[in-house]
A = this chain, B = another copy of it.
Amino acid sequence: MAQNPARRVALTDAAVDVLAEQGARGLTFRAVDVRAGVPIGTASNYFAGRDALLDQTARHIHHRLTPDPVIIGELLRAPRDRALVTALMHDLVRRIDADRAGYLALLELRLEATRRPEIRALLTTTIREQLEANIAYHLDEGLPGDRETVVTLYLAMTGLLVEHLTLPGVLGPDALPALVGTLVARTVPGA
């Protein structure tokens, strides 16, 4: 396998764009090469097969969507209350709005997982680790609520993000900030 790290990142970024724009069925080595503007045949030197490409793309999306430690550090100066959870959820929405292709590509990968057991196994591990890390973070930082609070909020935010990114008119395009507040207020215990 070829090892130029910058080129590997460029190829996985291109894979994210292909997934978001054309769906999982459009994701071929050739489409990735074209999207990345590299010679045909390049992607096949970086990934052992299509499943490896899909797996590394999923991990890369989670990396792209990772919070900025400076922003989170600033937010965490505040008291551990519902307002802080709301601010953290607004930051999540901000990151996903700034990387729509990343989140849409992840939804495409979820649907591809229903068709390909190898992808399902890989993606299950990645997303379960992410959820467990979120739960541990919430509890370790002393944010209000228990494990079930985090799972409930995670599921409600997943529903909100799917709705917002795919059919924003259902909830109304300006309804999002208020809805984030509603979801936190309805799922996270007060002081």
Q: How many residues of A contact B (CB 8 A)?
A: 47
Does A52 touch B at the CB level, under 8 Å?
A: no
Grouping DSSP codes into helix (H, G, I), strand (E, B) and loop, the A interface class, with mixed when no group exceeds half, is helix
Chain B residues with CB under 8 A of A123: 167
Q: Which of chain B's residues has its CB closest to A22's CB?
A: B25
Does A179 touch B at the CB level, under 8 Å?
A: yes
Let me know if B152 and A187 touch, CB within 8 A: yes
Complex Cα distance, B166 from A24, in Å, reads: 14
Q: Which residue of B114, B159, B167 is within 8 Å of A124 (Cβ)?
A: B167
Let me know if A165 and B23 touch, CB within 8 A: no
Does A96 touch B at the CB level, under 8 Å?
A: no
Does A186 touch B at the CB level, under 8 Å?
A: yes
Let me know if A186 and B149 touch, CB within 8 A: yes
Shortest distance between the CB of A176 and any CB in chain B (Å): 11
Interface residues of A in 84-98 (CB under 8 A from B): none
List 12 interface pairs A-B (beta carbons < 8 Å), by A numbering: A20-B114, A23-B23, A23-B25, A104-B111, A123-B167, A124-B167, A124-B169, A155-B157, A155-B160, A155-B183, A158-B162, A159-B162
Chain A contact residues, CB within 8 Å of chain B: 20-26, 104, 107-108, 110-115, 120-121, 123-124, 127-128, 131, 148-149, 151-152, 154-160, 162-163, 165-167, 169-171, 179, 182-183, 186-187
